[in-house]
Each structure stands twice: as structure tokens, then as C-alpha cells.
Structure 1
Amino acid sequence: MTDTDVVSAKSVNSNTKVRPNISPNGSATVSASDFEVASLKNPEYVRKFDRVIDDLQDVYSHKIRPLEKAYNFEHFSSSAPLGNDDIAAKPMVLLIGQYSTGKTTFINSLLNKSYPSSHIGVEPTTDRFVAVMDNPTERIIPGNAAAVSSALPFKGLDKFGQAFLSRFQVSQTPSAVLQNFTIVDTPGILSGDKQRNRGYDYTSVIEWFAERADLVLLLFDSHKLDISNELKAAIHALKGHEEKVRVVLNKSDMVSQQQLMRVYGALMWSLGKVVHTPEVMRVYLVSIWLECPSNAFEDCRSLLDAEKKDILMDLQQLPINAAIRKVNEIVKRARLARVHALIIAHIREQMPSFYGKAAALKQLSENLPTVFSAVSKKYRLPMGDFPDVERFQESLMGLKFEQLRVLDEKLLLASDEALGTDLPELLQRLPHHSTFTGTTAKPELNLSDDEFDELEDSVPAKRGLTRTGTRARSRYAPVKQERDWSLIVYNVILFTLVLFFATVVGGAVATKMGWYDGRALLLELLSQKM
């Protein structure tokens, strides 16, 4: 079967158990039953999960988002503001790999579908991002429509322009597997300079998806371990998300046992030059086919089957750990936004009051490492929470003095309360997977707020871990920003000076042009007073 980087979809009844395909050598492909999670069938589990997600939306929108907005956080970061649809979205699996690594076969095997499809899918190509999602009816949503849809978690993608949106689409199909998570397939990366002119920033798009993904799978081919420049840049874009990354060495049965040991060593050596982390990355040795080829080696079949079970377990646990990952991402974002606000406030303090602001801002931009060190010592912040110097410097040069705010204590205290109290409380309230081992389990929920019970009793529990918005009433009051009195005083003084000089200069010009006798008018006024 020819492997193309295209996600196909074929109609399948999601309510029917799908039997695994058995290859001639006895190897089974993935079936939908492999992803049946008992906790997702438990209405008590889903109800508790939904309530935590509601509170997480409220904490972000009322205590973290005001800080981001006040200090223009999204201008300095690739992260767009998180909406309710982003926080409540299903877990996302991001697949990255070079051409011929078997990404499409991997996805089709999970969905137990084959290519070509009847009427869903795209033409065989390597330059398209495809998000595969569950839906009762099969349909294709183009990138422009997906980027503006409030029901899809892709609103921030419109900033990458039409060149990217024309190469992005959402493929929806009924699938029991996709009820638990969403799969995003990326374009196959070719070696050399063939993909340099994509028309959009490929690395930034990968970074955008990596921030929202719950699991990132790097796929390699056992016969193709070289890492091209574009793949290296994509791996570097995963910096800060190393805990999500898993390496998959696909087509491992295309080499013998002895060769597989050498291939594994070569892959680890290649990754060591690109991924600069002290930890050894987890590598899955798998071979997932829709139909296993006849020339496959069987001497490592037991190892490959055990590795396949491990990666399926990681995928199966995604819905269970979705809330924990979402809280973790909000905590990470809040810490970055807090440090960003302190940096901007410190830069504002170093600026002159009246003249030389542009020169001072340029000088501070050139000495950002010193600025970061001063902020770190002043507020006792770890340097690991500070942004990249070059990116921050580039963004800072595009700002004006009026966009630099003084420190707002209320916003900072609200974010500290979210980090110190609200988010840890949400972690304590998360449902534990071990408690929900079957569909008839009745765990204790320890309800802390009666009004939530009254609201939730009227809403039926859903199997899919997704919500479309927050509750009608919120526990968290919105934080009102303090007025920047220094900026107000500065504007009043500036307006007064401009008005004064305009009056003086205008009077001098009028007198010079002979429009009126200024001295005569002044003497007349003095004589009247006397």
C-alpha cells in the first residue's frame, strides 16, 4: 500500500464493535474496542470532569486573561488568547514526521479504515494539515471556515494567513476512537530544500498545535532516520513541551532483529543532536499496517506487539488525564504571563518621563539579559520562566511607550491567587481514574457547592469530554483593572504644553502677519485693569 500523508475517512457505524483485521502472519491491527475507557461511560465521572472544566474556564477568563490583556501578552507570545472552546476541547494528538514514515497508515489503522475513501478525504499530497474529528455525518470543513467556527478549537489559526488556511482542513467522520480525542496530521517533511517555500511559517504552525496538543508523536521510518532541516526546526518548536513528546519508530518489522538494534542506536544518536534534554526520550518500536507485507520479519514480533500495547495505552489514557493536562497548561501560561507583566512594568519604570523614550526603549531592548536578571533578582523568579531573549526583543521593538503599563497590583494578586489557590484546588477535585473502574461504580463526589448540583442535575451527562461554554453563573468575580494614574497625568501635562505652545506660536505668527496688533491688544487689556 502506498503511504501518503493524507487522512482518509470511510463511513463506519460508531455503535458497532469493529473486529480487528488479521494479517497473514497473525498480526492484528488496532480495533475501536482497544479505546473503550470505562470511566468515560460513567455519568458521575463525566459530570465531575465537566464541572472542573467549567471552573477552569472561569479561573482563566476572570483571573489570568485580564493580566494577559493588560500587558499585551499575545503580542510577545505565539499563543493566542484561550477561549472556552480551546479549554473544553477534546484531547489532541499531533503527528509529525518525514514523508514515508507511515503517518497516514498509522491514523487509518487507529480508525480501522482504508484509503481511498468513498467521498471523504483529500487528494494525495504532502502539503496539508488535516484535523480528524468525530461527527455523526461525514464532511470536510475547509480551513477558512474551521478557523472562524466557534464549535472548533482552531480559532487562532487565522493569524497564519490564507496561504496556510488553504492547506488546512477538518475531516469529520463517525468513529468510536475519535470520540475520545482528535488527531492532527501534519504535512510530510521532505529532505533538502523542496519544502522551503510553503508560503507560511511551518515552524510557527507546529508550535501553535504543540501548545494545544496533549500528545505529540514523532514518527520515523526504520529505513529513513535522517533529520532534515525543516524537521529539526519542527522539533525545536516543541521546546517546553518535552513531556508530551513520544518517538515512534514505525515499520520496525522491515528489518531483522540485529538490524533493529543498530537502527535504534542510530535513531537515538540522531535525536541526541537535535533534542537537547538530559532525559532519554521514550521510543516505541512498532509496526502498524492495514495489511502486513509478506516480506516482514517475525523475529521481534512479541516485542513489537508489547510496544504497540504501550502506545495504545498512552492514547487510551488521554481522555482520563485530559483535565490534568489542561490545568497544567493553564498553570504554565499563568506563570509566563505573570513574568511577562513584571518585565513590562520594570521596563516602564526605567523609561524617562518626557523626552528620549525611543532611545531608552532601544537601549533596554539591546540589554534584555540584564533586564531579565534584574527582574529575576527583584522578584525572586527562576530564569527558566523567562521568555526567549531574541523573540522578546523583536516584539518589544514594535511597541510604543503608551503600550507599556505600570504594575497593576490587583491583576497580579488575582493571578497569584489563581496559581496558589484556585488551580491547586481544581487538581484536588479531579476525578481519579482508579475510582472509576467500571460502568456501575458510584464514587463519592464530595460536592462543595449546592448551586452546581442544581445546575448539573438539569444537564444530562455526555460521553464525549467536551463542552461548549461555561455555566450561567460563575464563582469568580471579574478583576477590574486599576487606572494608570501616571499615564493620565502624563497625558494631561502633554496636552497642556501642546495647547500653550500652540497659543504662543499662533499669536506670534498672527502678529507677524499683521492680522492683529498684539502689543496694542496687550496695552489695552492692561489699561482696562488699571
Structure 2
Amino acid sequence: MEIDSMSLSSVPKEHEKIYQEWFSYADSDSDGRLTGTDAIKFFGLSGLSRQDLKQVWAIADLKRQGYLGFTEFIIAMQLVSLAQSGQAITRDLLSSDVDLENLKPPNMEVSSQLQPSISANWFSTKSTKKVPLSSVTSITDGLKRLYIEKLKPLEVTYRFNDFVSPALGNSDFDAKPMVMLLGAHIGPEPTTDRFVVVMSGPDERSIPGNTVAVQADMPFSGLTSFGTSFLSKFECSQMPHPLLEHITFVDTPGVLSGEKQRTQRQYDFTGVTSWFAAKCDLILLLFDPHKLDVSDEFKRVISSLRGHDDKIRVVLNKSDQIDTQQLMRVYGALMWSLGKVLNTPEVMRVYIGSFNDKPVNEAVGGPLGKELFEKEQDDLLSDLKDIPKKACDRRINEFVKRARAVKIHAYIISHLKKEMPSMIGKAKTQQRLINNLEAEFGKVQKEFHLPPGDFPNVEHFREVLGGYNIDKFERLKPKMIQAVDDMLAYDIPNLLKNFKNPYDC
């Protein structure tokens, strides 16, 4: 029997009511999730040692999400109660012969009848006191804390969220790993032009894009910047499936060719795919052996993936529809076409096969082809299975990349502000700076010894900059920059030192 189902079924109603009151007090954000910070505050009332409480959290956080729901909270309270009675906290403790029905709630220094004045002081979300980083309970929890306290203030000060990327919320840190599927449109007309996110859910249902984008527990709020035209072409499909409990899939519409790419898109298709690419852990480029040409739109989409090269894998599907000699030629042509677009020295990993539930066409591929396709399919499945394990490392990597991008953005904005005159000629100076933005980027690069490849796209930056008054920007704040430098140099390494990847056990 599962630990969570056993624990809940064994909780008397009067105890469940107490736990519900405690959970409501402890959940400072009232979002049904107990973060590490809230847990440290509440669990500390038990009088147990910090080491014991770490073990309680590790066992109770069943799904390794970095927070506790009500079910996991009850499990944690039961573990605390058992620990207070002198039992060693182990993973099999609750599934042993412990009499859970007669297990009383733990003794807390503050009872369930918390006085309003005490609870308001203890759990108030308006408290300005910062919780030290040493009190976090997971890597995800630590990254949230670092973002709020050190990186987000720099983003807000220099309008990074307007120029580059929207501010991050809890759902961005808690989201499951994502895989994006990108390919040329090869289906018959008419076809649907929709981005579909396939997620785990209790039953099969579809949620419209406008609804998905405003749900706090989903990491898609940033898509609102692409407007109603896009959101009407976006939806979330939920269904119960074991794989979806660990991975979310993003299915994109087929990339168009010729005149269709200019007349059928009512939104920034390349911008949307670039947004998803930054969020995703793996990007699969899908090709058909009968259609290898890379359209102008597909070239723009692939070019927008620069900076995410390590996430890209290529899938050559329906390979059993051509013979071995043709397959060799197709493979060479594909690599040549991609090489011109991606411009990377590394060779892309290409999975060759027939990736569907039908048996391999041995009449075309032959026995050798069947053996090759099966091995390739196994390799692709192994790559997908590794995604959750690698997701923690990827999240840290993306966080560090974001921090560096924010620093460079701050340097650029403060440099432009410094170039503005104090009195006369502000309008002319602003226009000159916008026109010569590439040269200004060069000045910033030389002054702060920054790598040129880390700078944002000049044209996009120029377009956004045109809507702002440069004179209203902030001057450089060295203390804020130093806080981010300290975060990169000390806080993140300490976080990795204190907490392991949850999938490494």
C-alpha cells in the first residue's frame, strides 16, 4: 500500500480537522502548498532537531515537488509525532506496523487554538523579515528564495521583464519538465494552427488558452504578452497517464512554407516557439524523409533556438518507408540542411526510425533496418526517461543564464542612461543611441569585459527601447549587481552543496 493512501485512510476525522487548521495557519500564501520556508516555521514548533525535520521533509515530499500539499502535510505531522515518541525517522516507518489510527497529533509549542495575535505575527505574509537561505529545504525552494531576494529586484529596477522575459512565479519553479515537438507541416489541408500543452490531470479535458494563461499553478502566464490572437490558438489537454506525472509535452503546429507563413499566422510564431524553448528541457525537431526542405519560417524558428543547442534532438521519422541506400542519402541531406541553419560545431543527435505503434515495414527496411530502428527507439525513450533527473540541473542552468542576462541588461540600460544629456538635446540623443545601438552594445562589452555572445538581439532590443524614455531609466546600482554576483559565486554553490538532486537517490 502506498504511504500517502495508508496515512490518509488511517486519520480520524477529529485529527484531520486539527491538521487542516494547522495547514491553513502554516500556508502563508493560502495557495494550498506549504513551501520550505513555511514548513521551517511551523515544523520548528515541534522541538525536533533540524536534522530530524530535514528527514521528515524528505520523506513527506513524496513527488519531490519542493512543497507539501495537505496529504503530504499529514504524513509529515505523523512522522513528527512518531519522532517525538522516540522512533527513528525512516522511509518505511509509516508502512510498518504502526497503529496510525491511535496516533495522536504531535505536540507543538503553539496548539491548534492559536491566538490571532500570535498566528498573525508568525504567519503574516506582510512580514518584512527575510528568512535566511540556510532554512530552505530543497534546491527548488532555494532558487525561489534567491530569485525573490536578489535577482528579481535587479530585473524590476532595469525593466528586464519588459525587454526580455516576464518575471518568474512559483509555478515556473515547480513546473514539471517539458518536451517541445517542432516539425514542418506535412498534413493535408485544412489543418489546425494550435499549440497544445499535454499535461497530467485526473480526467480527460481541454482548457482554453486564455484560461490556462491566468492560472497561478501553471507556468504559462508569460504567454499573455503574445495577445489574444495567440491565446485563441493555444490550449491545454489534460489526461491521466503515468508518463505525464513526470513530463509535460508541448505540441506545436506544423511549420508552414511559402506564402502561407505570411498570410496564415496572426501572431508571432517564432517568438512563441522561442518562449517555449527557454522553458523546455528537450526540443525534438521532427523530419519526414519525403520532406526535408527547410522553409524560411522553419529557418527562423530553428535560429530562434540558439542558446538552447544542448536541448535539441533531431528525429527522422517514417524511415522504414525508404530503403537503406535512400536512407543514407536522406540522412546526409538532413545534416547538411541543418548545418547551414544551426551553425554549431557539434553534430546533432539524430534518432532514425519509425516512431509509432505500428510494426516496422521490413519489406522496405529489411532485418538490418528493423534492428537499427528498435535500438534508436530505445535510445530516444532512454533520453525521455532521463529528463526528470536532468531537470533539476537544467533549472539551475537556466537560472544562472537568466541571472547573467539580467546583469548584462542592467549594464546596457544604465549605460544608455549615462549617455543622456542632463538638460538640452535629450530627444536627439535618444534617437542617436537607438540608431547606433550595436555600437553602444560594443561599448558596454568592452567596459565590463562581457562575452559578446551573451548580449540580446539588437533589433528586438531596439524595437522595445523605442517605446521608452531613456532619461527615466535608473543609473547603475553597484550594490544590486554585487548581490547577484554573490548569489552566483556563493549562494548557488552552497545550495548545491547542501542539497542533492532529488532524483539522485
> What is the TM-score normalised by the length of structure 2?
0.70
- Cα 1:435–1:174, aligned 2, differ >3 Å: closer, same or farther? closer
2:211 aligned residue: 145
When residues 318 and 124 of structure 1 are mapped into structure 2, their CA distance, relative to the original with a 3 A threshold, is: farther
- The Cα shift of 1:365 comes to 2.0
**Cα deviations by residue, 1:79-126 (Å, 9 ceiling, x for unpaired):** 221111011100000000012489xxxxxxxxxxxxxxxxxxxx9833
Which amino acid in structure 1 is aligned with residue 487 of structure 2?
Answer: A
Identity %: 49
1:199 alignment partner, one of 254, 263, 266: 266
Distance 1:210 1:429 in 2: 30
In the alignment, is residue 98 of structure 1 matched against residue 166 of structure 2? no
Map 1:128-167 → 2, pairs under 5 A: 128-167=194-233
Aligned: 1:336 with 2:405 = yes
Contact 2:388 2:503 in 1 (8 A): no
Q: Name the SS for the 2:456 alignment partner.
A: coil
Matched, 1:269 2:336: yes
Distance across 2 between alignment mates of 1:282 and 1:248: 9
1:291 paired to 2:378: no
Matching residue of 1:105: none
**Quick check: 2:389–2:504 contact (8 Å CA) kept in 1?**
no
Residue aligned with 1:153, SS: coil
Q: Summarize deviations over 1:303-362 as a string: whole Å, max 9, x none.
A: 111111111111101111111111111100110110110111111111111111111111
Instruction: Please give the per-residue CA displacement for 1:33-80, whole angstroms capped at 9, x wherever unaligned.
Output: xxxxxxxxx948968772111111111121111101100112221x22
SS at match of 1:341: helix
d(CA) in 2 for partners of 1:264, 1:270: 10
1:212 aligned partner: 279
Distance 1:357 1:168, change over 3 A: same
- 2:338 is equivalent to residue 252 of structure 1: no
Change (3 A) 1:124 1:149: farther
Corresponding residue number in structure 2 for 1:73: 160
Q: Is the 8 A contact 2:389 2:503 kept in 1?
A: no
Which segment is superposed worse, 191-200 or 272-281? 191-200
Please give the TM-score of this superposition, normalised by the length of structure 1. 0.67
Instruction: State the Cα deviation string for residues 387-418 of structure 1 (Å, max 9, x = none).
Output: 12222222222211343110112211111111
2:425 maps to 356
Q: Which amino acid in 1 is paired with 2:146?
A: V
Query: Does structure 1 residue 320 correspond to structure 2 residue 406?
Result: no
Residue 173 of structure 2 corresponds to which residue in structure 1? 87
The residue aligned with 1:417 is 486
Tell me the equivalent position of 1:14: none
For 2:496 and 2:295, how far apart are their aligned partners in 1?
A: 40
**More helix by percentage:** 2
Question: Counterparts of 1:435 and 1:212 in 2: how far apart (Å)?
Answer: 22
Contact 1:222 1:263 (8 Å CA) reproduced: yes
1:365 counterpart SS class: helix
Counterparts of 2:504 and 2:480, CA distance in 1: 38
Partner of 2:454: 385
Residue in structure 1 matched with residue 255 of structure 2 by the alignment: 189
Task: Report the 3-state secondary structure (helix = DSSP H, G, I; strand = E; otherwise coil) of the residue aligned with 2:315.
Answer: strand
Output the CA distance in 2 between the equivalents of 1:247 and 1:44: 39
Letter in 2 for 1:131: V
The C-alpha deviation readout for 1:114-163, integer Å capped at 9, x for no partner, is xxxxxxxxx98331110000011111100110010111111111111111
Alignment gaps of 5+ in structure 2: 1-57, 67-137
CA 1:141–1:323 in structure 2 vs 1: closer, same or farther (change >3 Å)?
same
CA contact (8 A) 1:101 1:219 kept: no
Whether the 8 Å CA contact 1:214–1:325 is kept in 2: the answer is yes
Q: Is the 2:417–2:471 contact (alpha carbons within 8 Å) kept by the matching residues of 1?
A: no
Q: Report the aligned-residue RMSD.
A: 2.3
Q: 1:403 aligns with which of 467, 472, 477?
A: 472
The code of the aligned residue for 1:288 comes to F
Match of 1:64?
151
Asked if 1:376 corresponds to 2:463, the answer is: no
Higher RCO (CA-CA < 8 Å; seq separation 6+): 1
Q: SS at the partner of 1:58? A: helix
Q: Which moved more, 1:47-56 or 1:377-386?
A: 47-56
Could you tell me how far apart the structure 1 residues matched to 2:450 and 2:340 are? 30
Q: CA 1:366/1:184 → structure 2, altered by over 3 Å: closer, same or farther? A: same
Distance 1:427 1:296, change over 3 A: farther
Q: Does 1:305 align with 2:374?
A: yes
Cα distance in 1 for residues equivalent to 2:256 and 2:439: 41
Instruction: Summarize the alignment of residues 446-485 of structure 1 with structure 2, pairs less than 5 Å apart.
Output: none
Aligned to 1:469: none
Task: Specify whether residues 285 and 169 from structure 1 end up closer, same or farther in structure 2 by C-alpha distance, changes over 3 A only.
Answer: same
The aligned amino acid for 1:53 is: T
Distance change >3 Å, CA 390–CA 435, structure 1 → 2: closer
Q: Which stretch shifts more, 309-318 or 189-198?
A: 189-198
CA contact (8 A) 1:49 1:430 kept: no
| Counterpart residue type for residue 385 of structure 2 | Q
Contact 1:215 1:245 (8 Å CA) reproduced:
yes
Q: Residues 307 and 101 of structure 1: is their aligned pair in 2 closer, same or farther, counting only changes over 3 Å?
A: farther
Q: Is the 8 A contact 1:48 1:430 kept in 2?
A: no
Aligned equivalent of 1:32: none
Measured against aligned partners, the alpha-carbon deviations of 1:176-232 in whole angstroms (never above 9, x if no partner) come to 010111000000123322232321111111011011011000000111111111111
Distance in 2, Cα, partners of 1:224 & 1:161 = 32
Q: Equivalents in 1 of 2:353, 2:390: separation in Å?
A: 24
* Uncovered stretches (5+) of structure 1, i.e. residues with no partner: 1-41, 103-122, 437-530
1:147 to 1:48, Cα distance in 2 relative to 1, 3 A: closer
Alignment coverage as a number of residue pairs: 375
Q: 1:517: which partner in 2?
A: none
Distance in 1, matches of 2:464 and 2:323, equals: 51
Over residues 464-484 of structure 1, what are the superposed CA-to-partner deviations in whole Å (9 max), with x where a residue is unaligned?
xxxxxxxxxxxxxxxxxxxxx
2:106 corresponding residue in structure 1: none
